[in-house]
Amino acid sequence: MNALSLLIFEIVIISGAILFLHKLRNHLGIGLLLIFLGTVQFYQTVLASSVYNEIFDGVVVSPGSAILFTSTLFSVLLIFHTEGVKVTRTAIFGVLLSNVLLSILSIITLYQLKVDDFSVFQDYLNEILNFDVTLFLIGTCLLLFDLFLIVIIYQFLNLKLKMVNTIFKIYIPLSLVALFDSVMFYGINFFSIETNLNLLFSNVIGKQIATLLFSIFLFFYLKFSKLLLPREIPNNLDDVIAVFTFDDNNAK
User: 120 φ, ψ to 5°?
Assistant: -105, 160
Q: How far apart are CA 91 and CA 240, in angstroms?
A: 18
pLDDT of 106 reads 80
Nearest alpha carbon to residue 182 among 157, 208, 144, 153: 208
Query: Which pLDDT score is estimated for 240?
Result: 65
pLDDT at site 176: 96
**pTM (2 d.p.):** 0.88
pLDDT at 221: 96
Backbone dihedral angles phi then psi of residue 53, each to the nearest 5 degrees: -135, 145
Closest CA to 4 of 49, 57, 43: 57
Residues in Cβ contact with 236 at an 8 Å cutoff, skipping those fewer than 6 apart: 159
* pLDDT value of residue 189: 62
- pLDDT score of 131: 65
Q: Which residues of the chain have pLDDT under 70?
A: 131-135, 189-196, 234, 236-237, 239-252
**pLDDT of amino acid 168:** 94
Q: What local confidence, expressed as pLDDT, does residue 137 receive?
A: 73
Task: State the Cα–Cα distance between residues 36 and 20, nearest whole angstrom.
Answer: 11
Q: What is the 8-class DSSP label of residue 104?
A: H
